[in-house]
Structure 1
Amino acid sequence: MANQLRIEFENGEYLDVTPNLFDTRNFERALRNNRHWGELRDNGMRLQAFKAWSAASRLDLIDLTWDQFYEDPHTPVLAVVPTPEAVEDTDDALEVEGVGEGMPTARSATS
């Protein structure tokens, strides 16, 4: 599940959520309503965090507002990252058997 995100909290706990189209739509709506955030291309980290927050809120897994989750410097949230399984799935999808075999290795810059 490449779309699954992990919300990590300062107490060591975490939540794994899978954002859906509704959560992405919520971010687009919030971005339009908060023009001071800037353009979509400038909000990659906010997009990921927002989708995780929206999914967790939709599923009643957290009771933090968006401001408490992301904007408050005392937020209990440490990070929003892809789940380890999502990273593994992505790594496997990028491997192509036989590609790179027999290729000469690069020389050291000090040689």
Structure 2
Amino acid sequence: MFYLNEISVLGHGIETAKKLSGSTPHDQLLIQTSNSFAGLLLFVVGFLVFMVAFVKDRDFQTFFARGCALLHVSMALWRVYFERRLEDLAWDWPKQVVGDFVLALSWVFFLVYTWREKYD
């Protein structure tokens, strides 16, 4: 939301950033609205993770961690099947897939750690 164009230029390059910002005012409005909703979603997810951190029920935390791991794996699959077809983002998807798998692996490590505490 703040300095979105500059962040796009830094991450994708000048030419790709121009293509991703939209060619008509209607497209630009749709992209800005989409970015706003994505920011709102990130805030809500962060708040949800913060709230779950204070839950003492291990079964619920295990359920939540499994859901987060599944979410990251499904995001990686979505990137492999759909994002790689976009020529403007073709060189970004491998890094993002690796990041998604690393995040899913962090939740798996959390599950292993809680499993170890439960059965020790």
Superposed pair shares fold, TM > 0.5: no
The structure with the greater share of residues assigned to helix is: 2
When the two structures are superposed, what TM-score results if normalisation uses the length of structure 2?
A: 0.26
When the two structures are superposed, what TM-score results if normalisation uses the length of structure 1?
A: 0.27
The structure with the greater share of residues assigned to strand is: 1
Higher relative contact order (CA 8 A, sep 6+): 1
